[in-house]
Amino acid sequence: MKNIFKLLSMLLLPLLLVNACREDADRNWTSPEPSFKLHDTTLGSNVLYPTMENNPFVLSWDDAVSGSGSYTVYLSSTADFKTKVELGKSETNTLKSSIGALNKAMLKAGLSPYSSQTAYVRVERGTEVSNAVSFAVTTYPADGPMITNPAAGSTLVLDETKATETATTIKWNDYTNYGVKVTYLVEMAGANSDVFFPLGTVENVKELPLTTLALDQAVLKAGGTANVASDVKIRVTATSSSLGGTIVKNSDVVTFKVTPYQLESFMYVPGAYQGWSPDTAASVRSATSNGIYVGYINFTSPNSEFKITPERNWTNSYGSTGGNNLTYNGGGNLVAPNVGWQKLTVNLTEMTYDLTPYSWGIIGSASPGGWDNDTDMVFNSTTQKWEIESIALTVGEIKFRLNNAWETNYGDNGNDGTLENGGANIPITEAGNYKITFDEENQVWTKTKL
């Protein structure tokens, strides 16, 4: 009989061991049985706002049955805690944290802002874990976007033969999903400037493609030099709104190098107004070399005649075949019927030209003419800006306006050197003689006390 029992034991033991191994394999080790109790949270509101950032968030639990060491509080977006984020540690059975820390931890755990979702919290010490407490919560965005392309320090050489193709796509990471609309503003500045200008705006997507032409224009605007690698900075600003207000978050600034190409091209306008000399003639400019040229010329007498030359010589020229029509290397002189500053537009695609009265002036209580009469500016075709070399200003205000009328006028809302159409009067706080420049294309202005 004893031998029979020994034989049965030897046969059953392997089966018991196999079964035990199966039980271990089937056990969910990410959801172990709780060995001590976590009490409910102290969260007073299920919708979090930035104004609550410093409000306390307290958790308490019963002491663990055994073991020693500190407790660690974890958050997760799933009940199995397969992915968990540490909220904090405590040497006692209480954790005192803040709503701001809780909000950041939940975002890190994968919860999306502005959307009601379930969060899970539990406490661990060694191999012991508490029960999990779940609660519905709506978080708010805490961090700005993170630019992933272009990489900091990367280089890009632009090819003018690919002007309409995508040169690069600005990309960034942000929260997986917003429960509301989020607007992203992408901006650029020169490496040594803190003044950013917009490249574009998108909604609810995390990238902005830029054509070669658009990027070339932007880099040149930021102070880059054609055919020279230039450092430029970009940043992305996320703006979202909810019942709790508007939240604006900026990315870190990323600096990279771009080599732009010479985008603009010029032609020249010799005529009676300046002695028919191509060497000293005013120029017309094509900002994108698309065949359309614009310039500003001060004709000193009525019916003043002129021609247009591609270079500063008489080798080739454009003349008139009558009306506003042009011809190459032929035709008669072009005629400007009016006296004063004229905007000359030359269209080589259609072989036409157009003249329109066009002059900018300074007006205001600080200017010599007060609010009644403009002080005319002069267009500098070298700098492509309207200028006054010296104007006597008193303490008061000024504005810029076109053609001695208020239909088009510019002020400066922030008195920061940037212009706004119809903007605020510009204060002059110290009397004296000033040099004033007005850059219509880039909408900036400067004043320099002489």
Q: Is the pTM of this model over 0.85?
A: no
Q: Is the pLDDT of residue 1 over 70?
A: no
Q: How remote is the C-alpha of 202 from its chain's centroid?
A: 10
Distances (CA, A) of 335 to 312, 326, 400, 403: 20, 12, 29, 21
Q: Is the pLDDT of residue 4 over 90?
A: no
- The predicted-structure confidence for 357-378, as pLDDT tens digits, reads as follows 999 999 999 999 999 999 999 9
Q: What is the pLDDT of residue 3?
A: 47
Evaluate whether residue 338 is within a structural domain. yes
Report residue 427 as tokens.
Answer: 């204060």
For tokens 């997760």, the residue is 76
Q: What is the pLDDT of residue 392?
A: 98
Evaluate whether residue 14 is within a structural domain. no
Q: How confident is the model at residue 20 (pLDDT cuts 50, 70, 90)?
A: very low
242, 315: one domain:
no
- The predicted-structure confidence for 294-315, as pLDDT tens digits, reads as follows 999 999 999 999 999 999 999 9
* CATH code of the domain covering residue 193: 2.60.40.10
115, 164: one domain:
no
Evaluate whether residue 197 is within a structural domain. yes
Mean pLDDT value across the chain: 87
Report residue 270 as tokens.
Answer: 């010799």
68, 99: one domain:
yes
| SS3 labels along 299-365 | ECCCCEEECEECCCCCCCCEEEEECCEEEECCCECEEECCCEEEEEEEECCCCEEEEEECCEEEECC
Evaluate whether residue 96 is within a structural domain. yes
Q: How many domains does the chain have?
A: 4
CA dist., res. 294 & res. 304, Å (int): 18
Evaluate whether residue 10 is within a structural domain. no
63 and 94 in contact (C-beta within 8 Å)? Answer: no
374, 329: one domain:
no
Start-to-end Cα distance in the chain: 121
Q: What is the pLDDT of residue 18?
A: 40
67, 96: one domain:
yes
Q: How confident is the model at residue 45 (pLDDT cuts 50, 70, 90)?
A: low
Report residue 424 as tokens.
Answer: 């605020």
Choice between 204 and 281, residue whose per-residue pLDDT is larger = 281
367, 348: one domain:
no
209, 236: one domain:
yes
396, 319: one domain:
no
Among residues 110, 139, 168, which one ends one of the domains?
Answer: 139
322, 366: one domain:
no
Q: How confident is the model at residue 29 (pLDDT cuts 50, 70, 90)?
A: very low
Identify the CA nearest to 312 among candidates 382, 261, 359, 236.
382
Q: Is the pLDDT of residue 170 over 50?
A: yes
CA dist., res. 106 & res. 325, Å (int): 69
Among residues 226, 241, 259, which one ends one of the domains?
Answer: 259
CA dist., res. 312 & res. 381, Å (int): 14
Is residue 34 helix, strand or coil? coil
Evaluate whether residue 175 is within a structural domain. yes
Amino acid present at 261: Y
Distances (CA, A) of 100 to 33, 54, 75, 110, 153: 30, 6, 14, 16, 33
CA dist., res. 442 & res. 189, Å (int): 13
Q: Is the pLDDT of residue 167 over 90?
A: yes
Evaluate whether residue 391 is within a structural domain. yes
Q: Is the pLDDT of residue 242 over 80?
A: no
- The predicted-structure confidence for 102-121, as pLDDT tens digits, reads as follows 888 877 777 777 778 788 99
Amino acid present at 109: A
The sheet that has 378-380: what strands, in order across it?
378-380, 385-393, 432-439, 444-449
What range defines the domain where residue 185 resides? 146-259
151, 251: one domain:
yes
* CATH code of the domain covering residue 89: 2.60.40
Q: Is the pLDDT of residue 50 over 90?
A: no
345, 425: one domain:
no
Average pLDDT over every residue of 131-137: 87
Q: How remote is the C-alpha of 183 from its chain's centroid?
A: 11
368, 302: one domain:
no
Is residue 160 helix, strand or coil? helix
Among residues 74, 109, 139, which one ends one of the domains?
Answer: 139
In terms of residues, how long is the chain? 450
Evaluate whether residue 43 is within a structural domain. no
Q: Is the pLDDT of residue 405 over 80?
A: yes
Q: How confident is the model at residue 143 (pLDDT cuts 50, 70, 90)?
A: confident
Report residue 138 as tokens.
Answer: 């709506």
* CATH code of the domain covering residue 339: 2.60.40.3620
